[in-house]
């Protein structure tokens, strides 16, 4: 198990729900919980992952997510069981979609 | 000047054939040979150094004849030159290990790829070339004509007429080349019947047949369990449908056999229909009877399918849908690999398939170190045929995107669909293909590249679609590929500014640019989510093999 923490600037999100949960903790998959954060223009992410040594890729995936989406003002918790970057990006997009009610 | 034939001798092949037949007759072997005597027959009619075509298709295998040939005496039979499309069975490779055959010209080796590579390194085999199917069939009629062919059919009648059934596959091409150039045709059949359902190969092209001790082996190669399709594959399928199929109005096409394209097949009755695309895309196919296409057929999305071979479990479904499939008067399907490959090359507007590696020029390869697997038909389907002259909207649009409004020809759409990482986080996008190292270690004349980069028009990944037709320089092309290569080292090294410019020009389009909501990228969008769903869609006509049943 590895724990990673990231914080990236991002355009503020417009929440439509108090929180959004997406995905499941299963092999090759992950669970993402989005809740309101303390800083309107930052996306703060904590990752617990079963696969060690992929910190750089996590950082790149989350940086790209924050750059492409209005995801500011959020705290995102991730429980990962070896998901590929493709699955991580998709689930982040899906979770944010739930959180904002489709507005991105 | 050297005359190619000794003076006055213009029928050496015919006389050679006669001598071979006389040797068999001297042993008391007639047209119908009993299984235990097939080894004697092979040793009588095959000569050392002969070119022998052992029918190894994608699916149907002349396995009894192959095993019997492998058990022949290397003193009697040696230095055979095998010319066969697929090297699939252990006995195919045994021929080389046992010193019966020494040279190989082929197309695809699949599961035997590792053993084949070891034989090459140990110099127990000389590989002439790795071909595409059409290329090898072409050479059967030019410089690789078999002296003897060993084929598989479903049934024979007493006269020796053959019924190949739905898995006709390579048989007509092999038999035609052999029978009309002084060769010997030997068939194994599953059963002898009084009256055949239809005649696929006439008796006077067949010299010997044997009822094999067990039915020929058939591999269910094209069955993809919908339960294994992932949400990421659904996302990619949505992008492909909206960003390529709809944009170009692709009606005539071929699909690869992976899960990525199975996902597209399963979105035709749902997502594509919702987009109003029914009847506007995917109506005519060169395709094996993929079970995952059943929901689209049942929904009326598909008009016609011509197949290279059949698929295990589809035997009852196909005759019940004879408007869609090519079937005989008897009801069962007639496949033909040579014709279907020709259809895929010349009569389709799009090929979409997958690969294991792609470099920055768009070259793709399924070769990995220590394995020689070959290509099969992908390079035929996945290439732009410069011999094509008829127009279609999809072909013209692609041609004009590449060559401007005054382009004098169109372009076939050649689409590669891959997730950026394979299993164990192996990146698909690489600076250099393993094919180059394989070429070096195997002493090949060319690297085994499956689809050349200059034929590829689009790349679909979970990161979006790169339209290479719109790239104007090699640098743009490289950045377009890096731009959809995600978080692979190749993708991370992209020039962000240039990629953003390419995106503004529509060269790269991401899911959000296509108006795709990621929340819909969910397995629930698939028309079938299990093999059992496919059986239900077929009204019980599809009978999946046991290994795909969990009920």
Instruction: Encode burial over B61-96: b for 16+ CB neighbours within 10 A, e otherwise.
Output: bbbbbbbbbbebeeeebeebbbbbbbbbbebbbbbb
pLDDT at A17: 87
| Inter-chain touch A86–B518, beta carbons under 8 Å | no
pLDDT at A103: 59
Residue A16 lies in a domain: yes
At a CB cut-off of 8 Å and minimum separation 6, what does B376 contact? B58, B85, B86, B107, B108, B132, B133
| Inter-chain touch A98–B511, beta carbons under 8 Å | no
Chain A CB contacts of B486 below 8 Å: 85-86, 89
DSSP string, B136-172: HHHHHTTT---SEEEEEEEEE-TT--EE-TT--TTHH
CA distances from residue B95 to B50, B56, B68, B76, B116 in whole angstroms, order as listed = 14, 14, 10, 13, 11
Of A64, A68, A90, the CB nearest to B231: A90
Say if CB B353 and CB B381 are below 8 A apart.
yes
At a CB cut-off of 8 Å and minimum separation 6, what does B175 contact? B149, B151, B185, B201, B205, B206
Chain B CB contacts of A61 below 8 Å: 487
Residue A50 lies in a domain: yes
Pairing relationship of beta strands B148-156 and B162-163 according to DSSP bridges: antiparallel
The span from the CA of B427 to the CA of B492, in Å, is 12
Residue A83 lies in a domain: yes
Of A68, A86, A104, the CB nearest to B421: A86
DSSP string, B78-141: -SEEEEEEE--SHHHHHHHHTTSEEEEEEEE-GGGHHHHHHHHHTTS-EEEEE-BHHHHHHHHT
| Inter-chain touch B462–A90, beta carbons under 8 Å | yes
Q: What is the CATH number of the domain that holds A84?
A: 3.30.230
| B443 pLDDT tier (thresholds 50, 70, 90) | confident
Q: Does A87 touch chain B (CB under 8 A)?
A: yes
DSSP string, B397-416: HHHHHHH-TT-SS---EEEE
Residue where the block lists tokens 């004098």: B408
Say if CB A90 and CB A60 are below 8 A apart.
no
| B441 pLDDT tier (thresholds 50, 70, 90) | confident
Residue A104 lies in a domain: no
| Inter-chain touch A87–B230, beta carbons under 8 Å | yes
pTM: 0.95
Closest chain B C-alpha to A39 CA, distance in angstroms = 25
CB atoms within 10 A of CB B332: 23
Average pLDDT over residues B407-428: 95
What's the 3-state SS for A64-89? HHHHHCCCECEEEEEEECCCCHHHHH
The number of domains in chain A is 1
For residue B194, give both structure tokens. Answer: 């009084």
Closest chain A C-alpha to B283 CA, distance in angstroms = 31
* Tens digit of each residue's pLDDT (9 = 90 or more) over B480-519: 999 999 999 999 999 999 999 999 999 999 999 999 999 9
Q: Any idea how long chain A is?
A: 104
CB atoms within 10 A of CB B506: 12
Q: Does A93 touch chain B (CB under 8 A)?
A: yes
Average pLDDT over residues B43-62: 94
pLDDT at B3: 53
Residue in chain A nearest B489 by alpha carbon: A57
| B1 pLDDT tier (thresholds 50, 70, 90) | very low
Q: Does A60 touch chain B (CB under 8 A)?
A: yes
The span from the CA of B287 to the CA of B272, in Å, is 19
Query: Which of B482, B486, B494, B496 would you mutate first to test chain A, the one with the most A CBs within 10 A?
Result: B486
pLDDT at B59: 86
Q: How many contacts does A have with B, using Cβ atoms within 8 A?
A: 49
- Tell me, what's the ipTM? 0.95
Mean pLDDT of chain B: 95
Q: Does A2 touch chain B (CB under 8 A)?
A: no
* Tens digit of each residue's pLDDT (9 = 90 or more) over B240-279: 999 999 999 999 999 999 999 999 999 999 999 999 999 9
pLDDT at A95: 96
| B170 pLDDT tier (thresholds 50, 70, 90) | very high
| Inter-chain touch B421–A84, beta carbons under 8 Å | yes
- DSSP 3-state of B514: helix
Residue A39 lies in a domain: yes
For residue A24, give both structure tokens. Answer: 């499941």
| Inter-chain touch B420–A85, beta carbons under 8 Å | yes
Q: Any idea how long chain B is?
A: 551
H/E run at residue B67:
helix B63-70
pLDDT at B6: 66
The span from the CA of B472 to the CA of B480, in Å, is 11
Of A85, A102, A104, the CB nearest to B421: A85
Chain B CB contacts of A97 below 8 Å: 517-519
- DSSP 3-state of B365: strand
The span from the CA of B186 to the CA of B152, in Å, is 9
Say if CB B241 and CB B277 are below 8 A apart.
yes
| Inter-chain touch A102–B519, beta carbons under 8 Å | yes
Query: Which of A55, A90, A97, A103 would you mutate first to test chain B, the one with the most B CBs within 10 A?
Result: A90
Q: Is the predicted pLDDT of residue A32 greater than 60, yes or no?
A: yes
What range does the domain containing A88 cover?
A: 2-99
Average pLDDT over residues B290-313: 97
| Inter-chain touch A102–B517, beta carbons under 8 Å | yes
pLDDT at A104: 54
Phi, psi dihedral angles at B81 (to 5 degrees)? -110, 105
Among residues B255, B229, B369, the alpha carbon closest in space to that of B308 is found at B255
DSSP assignment, residue B132?
B
Average pLDDT over residues B443-465: 95
Q: Is the predicted pLDDT of residue B34 greater than 90, yes or no?
A: yes
Among residues B146, B38, B17, the alpha carbon closest in space to that of B85 is found at B146
Residue where the block lists tokens 């396995």: B63
Residues of B with a Cβ under 8 Å from any A Cβ are 230-232, 235, 419-421, 425, 461-463, 486-487, 492, 510-512, 517-519, 521
Q: Does A102 touch chain B (CB under 8 A)?
A: yes
Residue where the block lists tokens 């417009």: A14
| Inter-chain touch B512–A89, beta carbons under 8 Å | no
| Inter-chain touch A86–B519, beta carbons under 8 Å | no
Q: Does A18 touch chain B (CB under 8 A)?
A: no
Average pLDDT over residues B190-214: 98
Closest chain A C-alpha to B307 CA, distance in angstroms = 33
Chain A CB contacts of B510 below 8 Å: 68
* Tens digit of each residue's pLDDT (9 = 90 or more) over A37-90: 999 999 999 999 999 999 999 999 999 999 999 999 999 999 999 999 999 999
Among residues B407, B17, B354, B333, the alpha carbon closest in space to that of B178 is found at B17
For residue B77, give both structure tokens. Answer: 């039979």
* Residue B276 Rama label (left phi>0; alpha psi -120 to 50; beta): left
Closest chain A C-alpha to B520 CA, distance in angstroms = 8
What does R_g of chain A's alpha carbons equal in angstroms?
12
DSSP assignment, residue B421?
B
| Inter-chain touch B486–A86, beta carbons under 8 Å | yes
Q: Which segment of A67-71, B19-23, B38-42, B535-539 scores lowest on mean pLDDT?
A: A67-71
């Amino acid at each position: 198990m590895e724990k990673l923490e990231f914080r990236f600037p991002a355009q503020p999100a417009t929440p439509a729900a108090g929180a959004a949960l997406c995905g499941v903790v299963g092999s090759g998959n992950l669970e993402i919980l989005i809740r309101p954060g303390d800083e309107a223009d930052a996306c703060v992410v904590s990752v617990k992952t079963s696969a060690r040594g992929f910190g750089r890729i996590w950082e790149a995936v989350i940086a790209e997510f924050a750059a492409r989406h209005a995801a500011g003002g959020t705290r995102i918790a991730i429980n990962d069981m070896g998901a590929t970057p493709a699955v991580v990006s998709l689930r982040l997009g899906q979770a944010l979609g739930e959180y904002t009610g489709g507005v991105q | 000047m050297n005359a190619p034939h000794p003076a006055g001798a213009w029928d050496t092949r015919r006389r050679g054939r006669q001598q071979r037949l006389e040797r068999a007759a001297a042993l008391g072997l007639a047209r119908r040979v009993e299984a235990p005597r097939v080894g004697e027959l092979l040793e009588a009619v095959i000569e050392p150094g002969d070119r022998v075509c052992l029918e190894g298709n994608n699916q149907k295998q002349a396995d009894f004849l192959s095993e019997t040939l492998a058990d022949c005496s290397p003193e009697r039979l040696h230095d055979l030159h095998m010319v066969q499309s697929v090297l699939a069975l252990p006995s195919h490779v045994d021929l080389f290990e046992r010193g019966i055959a020494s040279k190989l010209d082929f197309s695809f080796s699949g599961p035997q790829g590792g053993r084949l590579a070891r034989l090459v390194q140990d110099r127990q085999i000389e590989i002439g070339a790795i071909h595409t199917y059409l290329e090898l069939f072409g050479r059967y009629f030019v410089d690789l004509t078999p002296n003897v062919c060993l084929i598989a059919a479903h049934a024979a009648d007493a006269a020796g007429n053959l019924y190949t059934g739905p898995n006709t596959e390579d048989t007509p091409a092999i038999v035609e080349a052999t029978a009309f150039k002084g060769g010997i045709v030997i068939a194994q059949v599953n059963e002898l019947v009084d009256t055949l359902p239809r005649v696929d190969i006439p008796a006077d092209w067949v010299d010997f047949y044997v009822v094999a001790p067990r039915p020929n082996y058939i591999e269910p190669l094209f069955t993809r369990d919908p339960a294994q399709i992932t949400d990421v594959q659904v996302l990619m399928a949505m992008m492909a449908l909206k960003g390529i199929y709809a944009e170009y109005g692709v009606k005539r096409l071929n699909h690869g056999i992976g899960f990525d394209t199975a996902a597209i097949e399963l979105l035709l009755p749902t997502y594509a229909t919702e987009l109003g695309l029914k009847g506007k895309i995917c109506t005519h196919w060169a395709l094996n009877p993929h079970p995952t296409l059943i929901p689209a057929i049942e929904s009326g999305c598909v008009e016609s399918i011509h197949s290279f071979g059949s698929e295990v479990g589809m035997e009852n479904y196909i005759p019940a849908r004879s408007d869609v499939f090519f079937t005989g008067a008897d009801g069962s399907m007639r496949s033909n690999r040579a014709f279907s490959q020709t259809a895929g090359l010349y009569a389709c507007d799009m090929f979409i398939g997958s690969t294991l590696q792609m470099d920055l020029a768009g070259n793709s390869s399924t070769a990995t170190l220590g394995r020689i697997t070959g290509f099969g038909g992908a390079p035929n389907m996945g290439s732009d045929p410069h011999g094509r002259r008829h127009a279609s909207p999809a072909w013209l649009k692609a041609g004009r995107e590449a060559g401007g409004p005054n382009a004098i020809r169109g372009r076939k759409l050649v689409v590669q669909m891959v997730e950026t990482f394979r299993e164990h986080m192996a990146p698909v996008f690489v600076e250099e293909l393993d094919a180059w190292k394989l070429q070096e270690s195997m002493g090949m004349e060319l690297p085994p590249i499956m689809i050349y980069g200059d034929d590829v028009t689009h790349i679909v990944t979970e990161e979006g679609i790169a339209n290479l037709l719109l790239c104007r320089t090699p640098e743009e092309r490289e950045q377009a590929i890096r731009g959809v290569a995600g978080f692979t080292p190749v993708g991370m090294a992209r020039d962000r500014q240039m990629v953003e410019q390419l995106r503004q020009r529509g060269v790269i389009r991401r899911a959000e640019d296509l108006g795709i909501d990621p929340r819909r990228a969910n397995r629930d969008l698939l028309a079938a989510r299990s093999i059992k769903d496919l059986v239900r869609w077929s009204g019980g006509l599809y009978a999946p093999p046991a290994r795909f049943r969990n009920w």
